[in-house]
Amino acid sequence: MEDALCVIGEALIDFIPQEKNCRLKNVDGFTKRAGGAVANVAGTVSKLGGKAKLLTKLGNDPFGDYLLECMKKQNIDISYIKQTELYDTSLAFVSLDDKGNRDFKFYRRSAADLAFSKEDIDENCLNDVKIIHFCSVDLVPSLMREAHLHLLKLAKKNNILISFDPNLRFSLWDDLNLLKETVLEFMKYAHIIKISDEELSFICGCTDINEAKDKILKDEGELLI
């Protein structure tokens, strides 16, 4: 088995304000950038000389085409990415106000990535994979959530290391209790968990890593960072 990374989840367009220190409603111009937390991880691994592949679905639209071009330039394996006419590539607008607070707006009501299903997964994609990485953005109730479960079970069956970064985006969830339940459910599959103080507080009700680790490092869990 080779040392390839496989990530599953969102690839999207980040629109970055051309103005600084203002809320989104006051921004006049944006610059588009390829984004998505798991896609960024794949890109970083590729830049460092590693092999990385992404499992997702994009809209068959100019934004999806742009993302594919960007990933090709970064040498990310896009063989398992699907495109669809039925849904749109996800968009995200983010700004920092004058107090340093992030102002998010996601356009995902017809998100192509959430339409990626377990039937879209070619099990051969894992033949050279040593580690799988995922986040919680695409774990909302959807076909993509079920695709995550399917992939993680395949990974467990094949003794592949699993990494999870909750990367909580509260605005994407109508029910925060469901978000917490979902994160705890998927943590059970992860050997490595990356988590911030804010996320630790939300999930465990504390910010002490030693106090929280017994709640988080269960089942497969080995490393909390």
Averaged pLDDT score across all residues of the chain: 90
Average of per-residue pLDDT across 138-160: 96
In the prediction, which pLDDT does 215 show?
67
Higher pLDDT, 19 or 217: 19
In angstroms, the CA 76 to CA 54 distance is 7
pLDDT band at 199 (very low <50, low <70, confident <90, very high): confident
Q: Check pLDDT > 70 for residue 151.
A: yes
CB 168 within 8 A of CB 202: yes
**How far is Cα 167 from Cα 211, in angstroms, rounded to an integer?**
20
Look up tokens 């959430």; give the residue.
Answer: 114
Q: What is the pLDDT of residue 97?
A: 73
* pLDDT digit string, tens, across residues 187-196: 999 999 998 8
Neighbours of 203 (CB within 10 A): 20
pLDDT tops 80 at residue 122: yes
User: What whole-number distance in Å separates Cα of residue 32 and Cα of residue 102?
Assistant: 17
CA distance 182 to 201: 16
Across 96-100, 147-151, 178-182, 202-206, least confident range? 96-100
**The pLDDT of residue 1:** 41
pLDDT-above-70 percentage for the chain: 92
Q: What is the mean pLDDT of residues 59-78?
A: 97
4-28 mean pLDDT: 92
pLDDT score of 2: 67
More confident residue, 101 or 181: 181
